[in-house]
């Protein structure tokens, strides 16, 4: 009984320390985001005077920063551009990556093995290493920059390798080939087998890849800044750059603009969090 009590005490102490460590990590991780929220409700003079002050210690709390940011960044137009680019690229990546991964898994030959190996190898190449040739070719030679379709095409291409890798692992470990053989016996073609049998079973990994790719496309600043220059085509991250002046910046408006950019994708994450966790757990178990 004494050993059990000692063991139980040690376990409680260990759990308490683990919880305390997690709370500290959570606070440290969320502190910058919390300060952005707080400073977005302050006036510029309060932010410059004491950016770490809490709301109840200052005067002049208002939502004027959000109104100013909404107007200055042309939020509705920028939101429309970001939504069009993000949704289009995400749909294309999901369809093309899942189809290619399915073909590679079910067709073992040199071409499919080489294709998969090259796609995995391409994941280690940083975008910064190819962005200058990319702009030179698409801008100087082909003259197709400053178009949303060009940005969608580039987003789709750069995301294919990781997406195919994730779909490949999920299909290989979670989709039994017996279902496909049964559908072939019933007279289904390869396309019908994929879209009617295989694709619905990919829901967990599709949800995971949708949120990961959507986050990447929605928050990307570097690639859109190289492709888009027309103010009517700017996405939300690019529109926030209008808050920065040559010699000064309106920090309150910047904070409010950043929150307006984050809010739509945060809603998407909350809506799909169950599917995301399910997809991650399914992949981890396999």
- pLDDT tens string 131-141: 888 888 887 77
Q: Is the dihedral of CA 150, 151, 157, 163 positive or negative?
A: negative
67-285 belongs to CATH 3.40.50.300: no
Instruction: Read off the pTM.
Output: 0.81
**Number of CB atoms found within 10 A of residue 196's CB:** 12
Enter the tokens of residue 113.
């093995």
Give which of 147, 158, 189 is closest to 96, Cα–Cα: 158
Please, what are the averages of pLDDT over each run of 10 residues along the chain (286 residues)? 60 90 92 86 79 67 84 90 94 95 91 91 88 82 86 93 93 88 85 90 88 90 89 89 71 86 81 65 49
- Give residues with Cβ within 8 angstroms of 180, minimum separation 6: 106, 193, 197, 198
Domain extent listing, the chain: 2-57, 67-285
- Tell me the pLDDT tens digit for each residue of 39-55: 888 887 777 777 777 76
Give which of 264, 207, 247, 209 is closest to 81, Cα–Cα: 264
- Tell me the pLDDT tens digit for each residue of 181-228: 888 888 888 888 899 889 999 988 898 888 889 889 998 999 999 898
């Amino acid at each position: 009984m004494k050993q059990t009590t000692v063991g139980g005490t040690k376990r409680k102490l260990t759990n308490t320390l683990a919880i305390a460590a997690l709370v500290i990590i959570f606070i440290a991780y969320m502190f910058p985001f919390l300060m952005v929220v707080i400073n977005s409700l302050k006036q510029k003079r309060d932010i410059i005077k004491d950016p770490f002050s809490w709301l109840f210690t200052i005067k002049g709390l208002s939502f004027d920063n959000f109104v100013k940011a909404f107007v200055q960044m042309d939020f509705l137009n920028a939101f429309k551009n970001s939504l069009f680019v993000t949704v289009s690229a995400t749909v294309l990546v999901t369809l093309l990556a899942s189809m290619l991964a399915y073909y590679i898994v079910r067709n073992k030959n040199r071409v499919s093995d080489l294709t998969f190996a090259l796609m995995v190898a391409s994941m280690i190449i940083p975008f910064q290493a190819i962005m200058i040739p990319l702009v030179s070719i698409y801008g100087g030679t082909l003259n197709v920059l400053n178009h949303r379709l060009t940005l969608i095409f580039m987003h789709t291409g750069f995301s294919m390798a990781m997406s195919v890798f994730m779909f490949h692992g999920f299909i290989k470990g979670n989709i039994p080939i017996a279902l496909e053989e049964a559908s072939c016996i019933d007279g289904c073609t390869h396309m019908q087998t994929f879209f009617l049998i295989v694709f619905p079973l990919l829901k967990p990994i599709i949800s995971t890849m949708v949120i990961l790719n959507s986050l990447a496309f929605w928050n990307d600043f570097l690639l859109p800044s190289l492709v888009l220059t027309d103010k009517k085509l700017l996405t939300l991250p690019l529109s926030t750059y209008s808050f920065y002046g040559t010699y000064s910046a309106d920090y309150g408006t910047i904070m409010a603009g950043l929150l307006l950019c984050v809010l739509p994708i945060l809603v998407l994450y909350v809506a799909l969090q169950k599917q995301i966790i399910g997809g991650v757990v399914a992949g981890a178990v396999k």
